[in-house]
């Protein structure tokens, strides 16, 4: 079996690397960096335990590759979502609330379809040993631009200028928190974040909160 997997990896190195990255995302998300082993990741991929190090050098190299792929896939998914949201906000119809709905809904779609993103990032945030490693760019510039454009489309709100960086943080926090705490806070309240209908209700709630905060008061 190991010999067959090794032979296959030589014939299709790109496919083998993809399988290893898929397996590593699962194992790192399930166990964290320290508890995961290259041998276990190799077994999860259905390959020899030595192949992860053959392609990625060591566990740090594989982990960095997993993080880089997660953020690259997030950026690719959000580019089109944010472009659509900005068009909704600034187009002829000028519907900033609809734009918020597309932006928030698109973000939730990605993190639901890619559970490894939330799992790996949650564990990565707690890993003090690796905190200084610059493994990848940590924010989506498209998402940041989208939030800023949509906030501007709502119009000026009296008082201090809206800090769009803080707004980006708030939007992401409102979307990610239920998924990060599905087994703790939500379970205690009788909810399951990945159950049918929860994401839609959550998206509408987040949109309602943000729209209320961004809509200028009637004169």
- pLDDT, residue 162, reads 82
pTM over 0.95: no
CA proximity to 44, closest of 21, 66, 11:
21
- Span 49-72, pLDDT tens digits: 899 999 999 999 999 999 999 999
- pLDDT tens-digit series, residues 21-51: 999 999 999 999 999 999 999 999 999 889 9
- The span from the CA of 135 to the CA of 76, in Å, is 18
Residue linked to tokens 């990625």: 56
- What percent of the chain shows pLDDT beyond 70? 90
Query: Which domains occur in the chain, in start order?
Result: 8-57 (1.10.10.60), 70-214 (1.10.357)
Residue 69, CA distances (Å) to 58, 77, 135, 179 in order: 17, 12, 10, 20
Give the pLDDT score at 131.
Answer: 57
Contacts of residue 116, Cβ cutoff 8 Å, sequence gap at least 6: 25, 26, 28, 29, 70
- SS3 of 21-59: the string is HHHHHHHHHHHHHHHCCHHHHHHHCCCCCCHHHHHHCCH
DSSP assignment of 171-182 equals HHHHHHHHHHTI
Q: What is the mean pLDDT of the chain?
A: 89
* Residues sharing a CB contact under 8 Å with residue 140, sequence separation 6 or more, in sequence order: 74, 75, 78, 82
Residue 141: pLDDT above 60?
A: yes
Give the pLDDT confidence of 165-218 residue by residue, as tens digits: 999 999 999 999 999 999 999 999 999 998 989 999 999 999 999 999 999 988
- Provide CB contacts within 8 A for 203, sequence distance 6+: 101, 104, 105, 108
Q: What is the pLDDT of residues 98-113, one digit of tens each?
A: 999 999 999 999 999 9
């Amino acid at each position: 079996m190991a010999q067959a997997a090794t032979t296959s990896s030589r014939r299709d190195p790109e496919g083998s690397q993809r399988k290893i990255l898929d397996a590593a995302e699962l194992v790192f998300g399930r166990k964290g960096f320290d508890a995961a082993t290259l041998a276990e990741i190799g077994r999860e991929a259905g390959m020899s335990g030595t192949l992860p190090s053959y392609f990625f050098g060591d566990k740090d190299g594989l982990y960095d590759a997993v993080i880089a792929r997660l953020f690259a896939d997030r950026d690719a998914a959000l580019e089109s979502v944010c472009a659509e949201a900005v068009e909704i906000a600034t187009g002829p119809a000028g519907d900033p609330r609809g734009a918020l709905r597309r932006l928030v809904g698109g973000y939730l779609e990605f993190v639901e379809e890619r559970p490894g993103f939330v799992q790996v990032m949650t564990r990565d945030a707690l890993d003090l040993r690796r905190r200084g490693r610059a493994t990848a760019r940590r924010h989506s510039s498209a998402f940041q631009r989208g939030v800023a454009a949509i906030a501007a489309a709502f119009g000026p709100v009296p008082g201090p200028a809206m800090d769009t960086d803080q707004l980006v943080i708030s939007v992401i926090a409102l979307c990610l928190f239920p998924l990060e705490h599905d087994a703790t806070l939500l379970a205690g309240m009788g909810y399951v974040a990945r159950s049918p209908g929860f994401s839609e209700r959550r998206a509408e709630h987040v949109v309602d909160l943000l729209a209320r905060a961004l809509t200028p008061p009637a004169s």
